[in-house]
């Protein structure tokens, strides 16, 4: 299967979650076993030799491929969630998104200084959620941070503003 085939399988939902936003729905890729395996294989190949010890997934679609990738890389999985969803002591970061403001949290003890971390989410639009997640992870002082998205909306330039020491990659580009 090619990247072009994966892109064709994406569902486009106009005016979601608010009027004027064109939402790219990756659940059409997740429900198809061939597409899901292709994404899993592609992500594994991108990171198999990087020494990843923790995969951080951003709520909620980062919770799908994140654990799959963590299992394949023999790494742990760390969820980043909306406030009030994690049971132990957390740290948090707020950010602006293209249609509002939001806050994310992570357990304070989720990552250690010996960890090599891959932060994963489904879509790079403006990059607010991922930059906030990077700030959370950086507080833990891991050895290295990698960032990955399934899809990047290139026209929105969300890849700008990441620290130069963070490797940012995407599987598919629109």
**Domain 50-173 belongs in CATH node 3.40.50.2020:** yes
Backbone angles phi, psi at 71, to 5 degrees: -60, -45
Tell me if the bond preceding 60 is cis, omega within 30° of 0: yes
Dmax over Cα atoms in the chain, in whole Å?
Answer: 44
Measured CA to CA, the distance from residue 101 to residue 132 in angstroms comes to: 12
User: Taking the domains of the chain in order of start, what are their residue ranges?
Assistant: 50-173
82: tokens are 């909306």
Along the 174 residues of the chain, how does pLDDT read in single tens digits? 688 899 999 999 999 988 988 999 999 999 999 999 999 999 999 999 999 999 999 999 999 999 999 999 999 999 999 999 999 999 999 998 766 799 999 999 999 999 999 999 999 988 999 999 999 999 999 999 999 999 999 988 888 889 999 999 999 999
Does the annotation count 59 as an active-site position?
no
Which candidate, 138, 159, 146, 94, places its Cα nearest to that of 119? 146
What pLDDT was estimated at residue 98? 67
- One of 45, 81, 98, 152 is an active-site residue; which one? 98
Q: Active-site residue 61, yes or no?
A: yes
The C-alpha atoms of residue 8 and residue 13 are separated, in whole angstroms, by: 14
């Amino acid at each position: 299967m090619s990247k072009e085939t994966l892109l064709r399988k994406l569902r486009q939902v106009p005016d979601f979650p608010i009027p004027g936003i064109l939402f790219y729905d990756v659940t059409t890729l997740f429900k198809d076993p061939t597409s899901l395996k292709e994404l899993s294989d592609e992500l594994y190949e991108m990171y198999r030799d990087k020494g990843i010890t923790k995969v951080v997934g951003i709520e909620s679609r980062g919770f799908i491929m994140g654990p799959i990738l963590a299992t394949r890389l023999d790494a742990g999985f760390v969820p980043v969630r909306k406030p009030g969803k994690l049971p132990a002591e957390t740290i948090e970061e707020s950010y602006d998104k293209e249609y509002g403001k939001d806050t994310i949290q992570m357990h304070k003890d989720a990552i250690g200084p010996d960890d090599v971390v891959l932060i994963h989410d489904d879509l790079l639009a403006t990059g607010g959620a991922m930059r906030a997640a990077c700030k959370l992870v950086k507080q833990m002082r891991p050895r290295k941070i990698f960032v990955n998205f399934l899809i990047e909306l290139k026209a929105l330039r969300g890849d700008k503003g990441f620290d130069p020491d963070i490797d940012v990659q995407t599987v598919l580009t629109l």
